Amino acid sequence: MVLALLALALSIGLTVAAYFTWNEVQQLTGTQSRLEAQVENRVQPLRSSLSDVNQAMQASLSDVKQAMQASLSTVNQTLQSDRRKIDQQLKKLGEEQRNVGHRVSVLAALMGRSEQGWSLAEVEYLLRIANQRLQLQRDVNTAEQALKAADQRLHDLADPHFLSVREQISRDLEAVQAVPSVDSEGISLSLATALVGIDQLSVAGNRYQPALETESEASETPATIGDWRELPRLLWSTLSGLFRIREHDKPVTPMLAPEREYLLRENLRLQLSAARLALLRDDGGQYQAILTTAQDWLNAYFADDDAKVNDLVAQLEQLKAIDTVPQLPDISGSLRVLHQQMKLSEKQDVLPIVPDQPAPGTAEPALEETPEESTEETAS
């Protein structure tokens, strides 16, 4: 019963809800129909206005299209005339470009030869400097550096025609490096030291002392006599005492006067100074002769038992044994080989071949594409 009552109540509630829902739907349907009629009344004038506007726009578009077509035709004619003018100018520019290209190629060839000429002139100058400095001034270091610089210039030039020149430079460089070095500064300082010690040398004869009387000679001289028979012996001994003969292993050198001793030292000093000057002037013969003269003066006028004199003589002998002017090699071969190769390169050197000029119409189509493309872009 309870379930039946509940089911009955539920069915009644659903029926009432369905009735009210159907009533609302009917009211909404009526309201919608009224709204649609109102909207249709309001939209109808807009549709008529829109049709009028559409017709007016179509008329305007047709007029604009005709005007644009007329303008495009005018622009096209103008572009065609401009294109013909541009074609003529491009032809002239093409011819000028070919002429300029030919001139540039010739100028590049001439400049290339000019740069090579400058490099070779620089190499020739360096080789001349090396020869002059070595032969005239005996400057081995400068000659070596000049040969190295010339070899570096030829290396930078990178021309196979001058490989023989580099080979000769290498041989000359080895010959220059083989020249023995002379310590001119050290020899000059040694002579300067000898100049300072000249005043301390002993002159021969300035230390002479007479020999002492021997005991036998003293015993032979009687102090007194006891008989007249001893008178002759006393007279003889007295007379013989006035003259005394002694034997020496060397000749006795007379003593020099003080003024002559001063001149002797000054002359020796001048000789050593002249030896320094001959050394700096690379005069080997004069250098050897002056030192020989100085040695002769030391042996002749100075005491041979003085240690300082002997040391100076030995020092001068050592300095005289030094070859201050060694023999120099002949490095003119590299310069001769360079001149020969320069003459050969001048005979073989020609201008580079300029490519044949293209026909006047060959390059035109590629140049004419630009006006056509610009015309199509403008028309679009």
CB of 253 closer than 8 Å to CB of 206: no
- What pLDDT is attached to residue 109? 57
* 72 CB-near residues (< 8 Å, 6+ apart): 379
- Structure-token pair, residue 292: 């020989």
- CA–CA distance, 315 with 295 (Å, rounded to integer): 10
Q: Is 323 helix (H, G, I), strand (E, B) or coil?
A: coil
Q: What is the pLDDT of residue 249?
A: 56
The pLDDT tens digits along the chain (380 residues) read 888 888 888 888 888 888 888 888 888 888 888 887 888 787 777 777 787 788 888 877 888 888 888 888 888 888 888 888 999 999 988 888 888 877 776 665 555 556 677 888 898 999 999 998 888 888 888 888 999 999 998 888 887 888 888 899 999 999 888 888 777 788 888 888 888 888 888 777 665 555 444 544 545 545 566 666 777 777 777 777 676 655 555 554 555 556 677 888 888 889 888 888 888 887 888 888 988 988 888 888 787 778 888 888 888 888 888 877 778 888 888 888 888 888 887 666 544 444 444 444 444 444 344 444 444 444 43
> pTM above the 0.85 mark?
no
Give residue 353's pLDDT. Answer: 41
Query: What's the rounded Cα separation, in Å, for the pair 163 and 160?
Result: 5
Alpha helix segments (H runs only) across the chain = 2-135, 140-157, 163-177, 184-196, 215-220, 231-241, 258-280, 284-301, 307-321, 333-348, 364-379
pLDDT at 255: 53
Distances (CA, A) of 150 to 135, 142, 156, 169, 338: 18, 12, 10, 8, 11
DSSP one-letter string for 161-186: GGHHHHHHHHHHHHHHHTSPP--HHH
Give, rounded to a whole angstrom, the gap between the first and last alpha carbons of the chain: 90
Place of tokens 């077509």: 69
Exposed, middle or buried: residue 268 (CB in 10 Å: 0-12, 13-18, 19+)? buried
- Burial bucket for residue 174 (CB in 10 Å: 0-12, 13-18, 19+): exposed
Contact (CB, 8 A) for 295 and 275: no
Give 140's contacts (C-beta < 8 A, 6+ positions apart): 134, 176, 179, 181, 328
What is the identity of the amino acid at 335?
L
